[in-house]
Homo-oligomer: A and B are copies of this chain.
Amino acid sequence: MLDTVDKLIDELVDGGSNFAASLGISRVAGQLYILLFLSEKPLSLDEMMEKLKISKGYVSINIRALERWQAVRKVWVKGSRKDYYEANLDTISIVVNQLEYGLRQRFEGLDLIINRAKGKIGQMKNTQSKEQIQNLEDKIKKAEKMYNRVSGLLGKLDLLKLLK
């Protein structure tokens, strides 16, 4: 009877971490985050490993990933030498930050590829068939247009504000 709450928490941790996993976040990191999100008080590595039944080293690795994303923070608990963590409850900001960062990374990569291709096509003009070159030029132009549209949007759109 006493563990009814614990059971519900288990369920939520499970359900929510599936969601996290479907967003491409490590499943265990998702579980840890939700565990901390739901917890009344900060938790130590030992408590987390106990609740999720995973090894301490694995908790350590994942909690540091969460820290890097500012999804959790270490808190001081007087009288204890352990590290305690609590969740940053502003989940949306965390997710949006991650998304924005990821998108930016990817788009920078594309930029390089497209420009490199344009250069190469320029150099090729007299060595290849006219149709081939024309086709490639068209396609690259199309790709570039898409790139510009999306990255222009990304630059302006402060997703965070939309959601707050």
Contacts and interface: CB of A to CB of B under 8 A. Distances in A.
Interface of A: 1, 4-5, 8-9, 11-12, 15-16, 18-19, 22-24, 37-38, 40, 89, 91-92, 102, 105-106, 109-110, 112-113, 116-117, 120-121, 124, 127-128, 131-133, 135-136, 139, 142-143, 146, 149-150, 153, 162-163
Contacts of A116: 11
Contacts of A109: 15, 18-19
Copies in the complex: 2
A146 B8 contact: no
A120 B8 contact: yes
B150 A163 contact: yes
Given A24-B24, A109-B15, A146-B91, A124 B4 contact: yes
B102 A136 contact: no
